[in-house]
Amino acid sequence: MLRRFGQVAVLLALLVVEVPAIFLTATMLLLSFALGMVFLFPPQVRLIRRLAKLNRRLMRQWTGIEVEPPYLPKPPPPVPQADGMYRSDRTLYKTPRVPAWNNRWKWLLTDPATWRDGLWLLLDPAVKVALVPVFVVLPERGLRVYALWSELLLGATSASRLAGQVTHLKRTRNLAADSQAAEMRRIERDLHDGTQARLVAIGMTLGAVEELVDNDPAAAKALLSKVRDASSETLTELRRVIRGIHPPVLAERGLGDAIRALAMDSPMNVTVDVDLPHRPEAPVEAAAYFAISELLSNAARHGDARTATVDISSNGSSLRITVTDDGLGGADPAKGSGLSGIERRLAAFDGVLALNSPPGGPTTVTMGLPRVLPERWGGYLPPALPRWKAVALISLWCTAWCPTFPQGLVPAIFKIFGIEEKAWFLALYLPEVWQWPAICGMLALGITMHVAAMRIPATHSPERWMPAATPGKPWCS
């Protein structure tokens, strides 16, 4: 209890900062738009956002309510045109400084969260003062009510979440396009430098055979033997290129057997351990296969490794891959070792790469691809709703209708249209001065009960709990 009173004291003490901040930010906002001092607007927004960030952090620590930031994604850095100039609207600039500043200013100005933060700062002192009686009598309940108020104005909206998802998808799409373009350039280079050169040599050799077949049959026969060897080497080269596009063994037998076949062709002694109940989706398999192939190739060519181990397993809905070798170590993505390409390939699936490669070795690379496998592969089941929450949920749904409709909405309609019938509407039996406050109180109570009934299952687990999520198990425990 003392800890809660201390938290309430800190919350009220922040008024010493918030009240001056209201006057300061209001002055800066007025100067920005009334006198054209637009350079004051970004600092004003940053000041309010820092106070809002502090509020979110305190509510998360004190009440466990996560108030998700609602801000739209930052604008990307300006990209130069073909002539090296940077465009901002209809003006060209030699450096990206002014276009970047303009983009940031427009981003702050058009983000609805900017103005919601300002409204929160303006009303927050009044809300805190109004909740003082609740803070004194029931400090824990008062803090949760205040956290819900903070979430109302400072929490994320569907528009901000959608904008974040769109930005993430654009970034992922660009990374996937870059990876695909790099693969196409690699395939073109392999065909040009390998297969195409061998086919040209075969054609030239056959032309020489045509000239020698009548005059020098023995030389023509020797050249045909070379053509046969060259065609065999070309076929091997072509098969290698095909495996680089998409290995047939990967499509036919899955990731485990494809990695084992890759290990057999490796100059190192590679141990493969695969623990996957079922095959992942084809794009996931391809990304994992080529990432492992690149790592083994790097270990053999650059790390001078003799042995390597590949471990592939599932962790709930995530695919986890660990590749370890006994090479020289010192791997660095900045040195062009192929690790940056692997990161781009994994980024298409929100994957991450962790590298541990001290000088002298060993090198360990861990890759994680989240949410690419069905949840039940890892034996994961969404947590069942606790019995007390189930009882509270049923009670709320069974009783919330009463204050909302027959004790709230219907008496309000009777009052508006002057209907004298009181029936069983409790508010209409009160003195005239208390009828409207009682009706509004009933409506607020009913709406609060409905919101609580929806939030209990929605916030119980990230999977948005449903009774059908755990077949064969009771829906409450």
Strand partners, 411: none
Secondary structure letter of residue 94 according to DSSP: S
State how far the Cα of 442 lies from the Cα of 423, in Å rounded to an integer. 16
Q: What is the mean pLDDT of residues 217-236?
A: 80
pLDDT band of 376, cuts 50, 70, 90 = low
pLDDT tens per residue across span 275-334 = 887 788 888 888 888 889 888 888 888 888 899 999 999 887 889 999 999 888 887 776
DSSP count for the chain of H helices, then E strands: 18, 7
Query: Is residue 202 scored above 60 in pLDDT?
Result: yes
Q: What is the mean pLDDT of residues 93-106?
A: 87
Sheet holding 352-356, edge to edge: 269-275, 307-315, 318-325, 363-369, 352-356
State how far the Cα of 462 lies from the Cα of 383, in Å rounded to an integer. 10
State how far the Cα of 341 lies from the Cα of 294, in Å rounded to an integer. 9
Helix (H, G, I), strand (E, B), or coil: what is residue 281?
A: coil
Q: Given this model, what pLDDT does residue 121 score?
A: 92
State how far the Cα of 426 lies from the Cα of 422, in Å rounded to an integer. 8
Query: Is residue 477 scored above 60 in pLDDT?
Result: no
344 versus 402: the higher-pLDDT residue is 402
Buried b (16+ CB within 10 A) or exposed e, 409-430: ebbbebbeeeeeeeeebbbbee
State how far the Cα of 37 lies from the Cα of 169, in Å rounded to an integer. 36
- Cα maximum dimension of the chain: 126
301 versus 366: the higher-pLDDT residue is 366
Lowest mean pLDDT, pick from 96-100, 313-317, 376-380: 376-380
State how far the Cα of 335 lies from the Cα of 302, in Å rounded to an integer. 11
pLDDT tens per residue across span 321-354 = 999 998 888 877 766 557 777 887 787 787 888 8
State how far the Cα of 61 lies from the Cα of 313, in Å rounded to an integer. 35
Q: Which residues contact 299 (CB under 8 A, 6 or more apart)?
A: 268, 305, 308, 323, 325, 327, 363
Strand partners, 92: 87
- How does the average pLDDT of the chain come out, rounded? 81
Helix (H, G, I), strand (E, B), or coil: what is residue 302?
A: coil
Q: Given this model, what pLDDT does residue 331 score?
A: 78
Buried b (16+ CB within 10 A) or exposed e, 348-377: bbebebebebeeebbbbbebbbeebbeeeb
Q: Given this model, what pLDDT does residue 431 score?
A: 87
Match 């009173």 to its residue by tokens.
5
Query: Is residue 267 scored above 50 in pLDDT?
Result: yes
Buried b (16+ CB within 10 A) or exposed e, 195-216: beebbeebeeeeeebeebeeee
pLDDT tens per residue across span 11-52 = 999 999 999 999 999 999 889 888 888 889 999 999 999 999
Query: Is residue 194 scored above 80 in pLDDT?
Result: no
pLDDT tens per residue across span 114-140 = 999 999 999 999 889 888 888 888 888
Rounded to 5 degrees, φ, ψ at 316 are: 65, -120
Percentage of residues in the chain with pLDDT exceeding 90?
A: 15
Q: Given this model, what pLDDT does residue 172 score?
A: 65
Instruction: Give the other-Cβ count within 10 Å of 385's Cβ.
Output: 23
Contact 358, 330 (CB under 8 A): yes
Q: Given this model, what pLDDT does residue 469 score?
A: 36
Strand partners, 34: none
State how far the Cα of 276 lies from the Cα of 315, in Å rounded to an integer. 10
Q: Given this model, what pLDDT does residue 23 score?
A: 93
